[in-house]
Amino acid sequence: MSATSAPARDELRPAPDDGLPAPRRRLRLPFSPWHLVLIPATVVLLFPFYWLIVTSLETEPDALHFPPILIPHVLRFANYADALASAPFVRFFVNSAIVTATTVLCNLVLCSLAGYAFARFRFLGRGALFAVLMATLMVPFQVTMIPQFIVVKWLGVHLLAGVGIDHLGALILPNAATAFGIFFMRQFFRTLPLEYEESARVDGAGRLTVLVRIVLPLATAPLATLAALTFLDSWNDFLWPLIAITSPDKMTLQLGLATFQGAHATEWSLLMAGNVMSLAPMLVVFFVAQRFFVRSVAATGLSGT
């Protein structure tokens, strides 16, 4: 790595503060040399975003101009209206919002309940049940997706249409709780001291009351992490919606955008306008809650430490 070798010159460090002029003065930049690395890196990281937005505002002939026009002189905002007219992006957004919000909520409730029981209660079959959950944690989605498709199809036909194929419920129910979420909450609950719960019990509180009133208020950090991770997973999911949803009015943003791309593969400015609209809500959420997302992702990484 070339950039890290630059400060390695510090090895030739002159004796500090001895009053004598250093034998060879190092070149002093008026700014940290790391800027020389970070500025190009940032340009590379942000250029795709820039190009996405620029193309979405160009006229079709300008977009197809070669060499490309890096700074457009005419901005065509009508691309967005055109994209909205050719695909129901608002519908996609609403569907994604419904699916994601419900999935996050279900996970918070179900994983807290189950995680708490696994952490605190002794009951028949606890060990075996927990072992089964941990086993499913390792298995990739591709192994379960075909039977999951059959189960969802069956449920839709025989039990409840709302959770069947081509319904939003099909995107929520299979992800309403995850083995990871239960494991994650259990690990947290086990670190809590028992005293609070015991004293609440002595005061006559029921077990659910203890969980809701005493334990969960202490668990806001892991709950927030679980919410952030579930949110990202659910919002960005593509393979399962691709399998489970066929009609446009039930599509999520990812699936709708992919379908839109299939239909307008060469209309670049229209496509990018659709892409910006699909991306914008997530970018906004991400920037508003940046600390919170970053901390959540970091927490998964540090779990190995």
Partner 1 sequence: MAVNSMTRPGPGRSRPGRGGLARRALDSEQFNGWAFVTPGVAVILLFGAVPIVWSAVMSFQKSSLGSSTPFVGLVNYRTLVHDPVVSQAIQHTLIYTALFVPGTMVVGLFLAVAMNRKIRFISVYRTAAYATMAISAISEAIVFIWLFDPSYGVVNFFFSKVGLPQQQFLNSPSEALYVIVAMTIWGWTGFAVVVYLAALQGVPRSLLEAAAIDGAGPWRTFRRVTLPLLSPATLFLAVWLTINALQLFDEVYLSTQGGPLNATTVLVYYLYEQAFEQFNFGYASAIAYFLFLIIIVVTALQFWLSRRYTFYRS
In the bound complex, what is the minimum distance in angstroms from residue 269's beta carbon to partner 1? 10
Query: By rule CB under 8 A, what count of residues binds partner 1?
Result: 115
* Piece of 20-28, 50-58, 74-82, 218-226 that binds partner 1 (CB under 8 A): 50-58
- Cβ proximity to partner 1: between 206 and 217 the closer is 206
Amino acid code (one letter) for 185: M
* Piece of 16-24, 75-83, 218-226, 297-305 that binds partner 1 (CB under 8 A): 297-305
| Vertex 171 angle, CA 113 and 251, to 5° | 150
Contacts 24+ apart (CB under 8 A), 22-25: none
Structure tokens at 244: 């489970």
183 is a contact residue toward partner 1 (CB under 8 A):
no
Spatial separation of the C-alpha atoms in residues 305 and 303, rounded to whole Å: 5
Considering only residues 87 through 126, tell me which ones interact with partner 1, judged by CB under 8 A. Answer: 110-111, 113-114, 116-118, 120-124, 126
* Piece of 21-29, 37-45, 86-94, 97-105 that binds partner 1 (CB under 8 A): 37-45
5 is a contact residue toward partner 1 (CB under 8 A):
yes
Spatial separation of the C-alpha atoms in residues 33 and 39, rounded to whole Å: 10
Spatial separation of the C-alpha atoms in residues 258 and 236, rounded to whole Å: 12
- Cβ proximity to partner 1: between 81 and 137 the closer is 137
- Cβ proximity to partner 1: between 113 and 227 the closer is 113
- Cβ proximity to partner 1: between 19 and 147 the closer is 147
Considering only residues 242 through 261, tell me which ones interact with partner 1, judged by CB under 8 A. Answer: 242-243, 253-254, 257-258, 261
- Cβ proximity to partner 1: between 94 and 129 the closer is 129
DSSP state of 178: -
* Piece of 17-25, 83-91, 198-206, 218-226 that binds partner 1 (CB under 8 A): 198-206
- Cβ proximity to partner 1: between 98 and 282 the closer is 282
22 is a contact residue toward partner 1 (CB under 8 A):
no
Q: Where are the alpha helices (DSSP H) in the chain?
A: 2-5, 35-56, 60-63, 78-86, 89-120, 126-138, 141-158, 169-172, 179-191, 195-202, 207-209, 220-236, 239-244, 253-263, 268-288, 290-302
132 is a contact residue toward partner 1 (CB under 8 A):
yes
In the bound complex, what is the minimum distance in angstroms from residue 78's beta carbon to partner 1? 19
169 is a contact residue toward partner 1 (CB under 8 A):
no
Listed residue (174, 192, 201) closest to 112, CA to CA:
192
84 is a contact residue toward partner 1 (CB under 8 A):
no
Q: For the chain, how big is the Rg over CA atoms in Å?
A: 27
Distance separating the N- and C-terminal Cα atoms of the chain = 26
